[in-house]
Amino acid sequence: MDKNLTASISSFEPFLRQAILRPKRKDTIRTLVFTFLLSILIFSWEIFGSAQSKSLALLADAGHVISDSFAFLLSIFAVWISDRKPSPKMNFGFFRVEVFAAFCNSILISGISVYIIIEAIDRFQAKHEIAPDSMLVFSLGTIAFNLLSVWLLKRIAGDNINLRSAYLHVLSDLLGTLAVLVGAVLIRFVGWNWIDPLISLLLSLIILKSAASILKESIFILLEASPTHEEWGHLKKDILEIKGVESILSAHTWTLTKGIHASAFRLQISAKADSNQILKEAYEILRGEWKFEQIYLQLEDPKTTQAIEGIVAKTLHDIDSEEWGHHHHTHDHPAHHHSH
């Protein structure tokens, strides 16, 4: 094997060894691209239908569909980049890209929904003539397109927060278009023109609720919220029951992306404890029972803890408050470290 290639693999090995590499689904990108093109078609269809029928409900659906188009673009980008392998700079890989994409999607659809709500309220105050026959034809066509999009995305959504957000987009569009169809029938046979802004208002409120759920989840992930905060007592008990573990000096649990959790524990162990056995049991508990994919454990006997805390205390004492959080190298590197 080429020496340069061997050195390259060796330099990246620590990052790849700790990485969570999810199984690649070959049809994910292809499906997202197809649904993106389909959403552009639906958007054009509904914009034309709204102009022909003067229906705000169709316009509301078109607004949601164009947000779907952006959602699919973000999802395509997120799926592509999240599969990139970790590097010295990006040690955890690119899982957070899909969380950020879901965050952007939820804000986008919330903004469009708020606009439709304002427009619907305005229509309650001023009467608008609607062509129910055109509204009926275009809503039926949209339902057919949306059914195809829902079927395609349901196959790949799973527990991926980003793909799930895209799936919720098209699912909400399908439900919205069904409501538009009902409204068209009522306007056509009963003459209830006010049903059009009412459907638009209700549709937007439902979409806002779904968007808020995704927004909340993505924010919690981006802010490193603990996925086990409600079960901390149980998790703490499991760790302390391991023979040789005396206390938990520090604990962190967080989420890399939807369904992929990490944990880091600094454990005080007794001086004569079997550290290898403790590591084995701790990994079995954290990986097997608690489903943490990334696990970091630091085992310390009392002397080691005292020495570490002495180093930390001395370091903090020497650093000015303005320098906290900055990384400084004060040691020299051998010249060969920088040679190629």
Minimal CA–CA distance to 98: which of 71, 68, 67? 71
**pLDDT for residue 242:** 95
Q: Please, which residues have CB within 8 angstroms of residue 303's CB and are 6 or more apart in sequence?
A: 271
DSSP 94: T
Q: Which residues of the chain have pLDDT under 50?
A: 1-3, 5-10, 336-340
Buried b (16+ CB within 10 A) or exposed e, 8-44: eeeeeeebeebbbeeeeeeebbebbebbbebbeebbe
> Do residues 55 and 49 lie in contact, with contact meaning Cβ atoms separated by under 8 Å?
yes
The pLDDT score that the predictor gives to residue 296 is 92
Q: Other C-beta atoms within 10 Å of 206: how many?
A: 15
pTM higher than the cut 0.75: no
Q: Are 63 and 112 in contact (CB under 8 A)?
A: yes
pLDDT of residue 17: 61
245 three-class SS: strand
Phi, psi angles (nearest 5°) of residue 282: -65, -40
Q: What is the pLDDT of residue 222?
A: 92
Catalogue all structural domains in the chain, each as residue range(s) with its CATH number: 3-222 (1.20.1510.10), 229-319 (3.30.70.1350)
313 to 146, 250, 251, 309, 310: CA distances (angstroms): 61, 16, 19, 6, 5
- Backbone angles phi and psi of 155, in degrees to 5: -70, -25
